[in-house]
Structure 1
Amino acid sequence: MNASSTRTRRTAVRLVVGIATLAVLTGPAASLATAGDRPAPAPGGAAATAAQPAAADWPTLKAGSKGAGVTALQHLLTFRGQAVAADGGFGPATTAKVKAFQKAQRLTADGVVGPATWTRLVTTLRGGAKGAAVKAAQTLLKARGQAVAVDGTFSATTTAKVKAFQKAAGLTADGVVGPRTWASLLNGGAPAGDRAGLAKQILAQKQITLATVHPGGRHAGSTARQNIVDTADGKGALTSPWGDKPNRRVALDPRMLGGLLKLRTQYGYRLSVSEIVGGDHSGNSRHYAGIAFDITHINGRHVGSGAPHKQFMATCRKLGAQEVLGPGDPGHGRHVHCAWSRQGALRK
C-alpha cells in the first residue's frame, strides 16, 4: 500500500470515530444524563458538573405503598405502554404492570420499583411535552407544594413550577425534568441536610397535621407546628418553658425531618404530630436533641384506638429510627415515639 492510500485510510477511520463520538454525545442517552440534572453552581461561580443520581436517591416502592409517588409511578407505567389506573395505591394491577415492564427491560421481574426500574421508567421532560409522563411530574410537583394542574401539558406554568422546585432543592433551575429532578421530586424535594427545605416540604403536606397546642400547657412558640415553621425560616426549634431544658433553640435533625416527610410522601400515611422538641419529656429525651417526634393519629385514627401502629412503627424503623415506642411500651399507650440515633445510649 502506498503512502497516499495509507493517509486516506487513516482519515476515513478518524471520520468514522468522530461521527460515532458525536452520536454518543448528542443522542437520547446524553439527553437523559444531563438535561435538568445539574447541581446548582457552587459559591464563587464554580462550574456545575452533570451527574446521575446515586442509587440511594431513588425511593423503593412495592405492593402496599401509597401516595403521590405511586400515582407518578402509575402515570410513568402508562407512558411506557403498561396502562394502569393512577389511583395512588400499589395494588395487584400495578404489581403486574411493573413486572411486565421489568421483563420487557430485561430487569429482575420482582414487582419492586427500585433504582434500576426508575431509571428505565423516567424520561427527560421540558416545555412543550405532553402525555402521561408529564402528568407524573405534575403529580409530584403538586405533592411538593408547587400548585399546578395535572393536565399532561408541560406549559409555561409547569416550567415555572419546575424551576421553583429545582431552586428549592439545590438543582440548576432550568425547568427541565431530568433524572436528578425526578429523584428529588420522588424523595420529597429537599437535599439531604437541608433542614429548611425539608421543613417547607412538611408544611406543604396537607395530610401531615402539626399540633398548635400542647397537651400539658400553653406556649405557642414551642408547638410542633411552630417548631417546623421556625425551622423553615432558618431558625432553631424552641423547647417549652416548663420542660427539663427550657427555652432552648434546637436544630432539627435532617434524618428525622426526612423520615417524617417520607412517612407521607413514600408510604402514604396521614399523620398528626403532637410534639417535636416542645412539651415535657424526661431529662435525657431525644426530643430535646431535635431527633424525635410523637404521633397521636395515623390515617385518622388515634393511636391505641385502632390506628395501625405496629405497621407504622415498622416503617419508622425502615426509615432509620432507632428508638421506636408505642402501645405496649410504658407511657406510650396513646402515641408512637420515633427517634433517630445520637452519640451515647439514651432513653426517652
Structure 2
Amino acid sequence: MSAARMLSEARKCIGMSGRPNRITREYASRHGDEFLEASWCDMAVTYWARHSGNAATVLPAGDRAYTPWHAEDFRKIGRWHAGTTAQLRAARPGDIVFFDWDATNRIDAIDHVGIVEKVLSGARVQTIEANTGDACRRRVRDASVIAGYGRPAYGGGDWTEEIVRKLPQLGKGDSGEHVESVQGLLMARSHPEVTMNGRFDATTEAAVKAVQKWGGVTADGVVGPKTWPILLRVH
C-alpha cells in the first residue's frame, strides 16, 4: 500500500468524463444499477483504492459512494483532520480531502471528495477530483471549502517520514552536505538569497524561520523532525 500508487491510479483517470463510465460501472456491478448515473466523486476514490491495492486503508469501512459516511469512517478510526488552515498545512499527498461548499466543516454537510496531489503555499492543495463538472480533473482548493481530510495508513510509501528519521538536526554554525541540502531546498522554495555554501549562516537561519512560520511550526531556525517535512514537501 502506498500514496504513490493511489495517486498513480487517480492520474490515469484525468480527462474521463460523462456517465456511465468505467468507475460507475464497476461500482454498480457490486452495489446496483442505481449507481451507474449517480455522483461519482467517491466512487472514484473507491476505484483508485481498489486498483492500487489501498482498499484496506483508504476504505476502512468498505466501498463508499456517499462522502459524509466516508469521512465519518476516518473519524471513527482517529484518522480525521478538520479543515482548519493549520491542519491543511500539514496535509500530505495521498490524503483523502473532503469539501463543504457552505464552509461549515461539518462532516454531515460534506458535498464532495478528492485526493491531495500536492500541498501548495497559502493553505491550498492541488487535488485530483472526479465528478467535478462531470469529469475527472486537477483542481486547486483552499481551506475555505475544505471540511477536512482523512489520512490513510499507507504502509511503506511514506517516503517523507522514512527520510526524516535518518536526517540530523541542524542549526546555525553547523556545516556539511546536509546543510547544503537544506540550502538547496530553501532556494527551491523561493529563497534566492540563500547560497549553497554548506555553512548554516545567518541568511540560512532567517530563511528557515520564514519557512517554519509558513509551515505552522515553531520558528526557531533549527531544522529538525518538524521542519524537514516542510522543506521536503512537494510543490
The structure where strand makes up a greater share of residues is 2
TM over 0.5: no
TM-score between the two structures when normalised by the length of structure 2 = 0.31
TM-score between the two structures when normalised by the length of structure 1 = 0.23
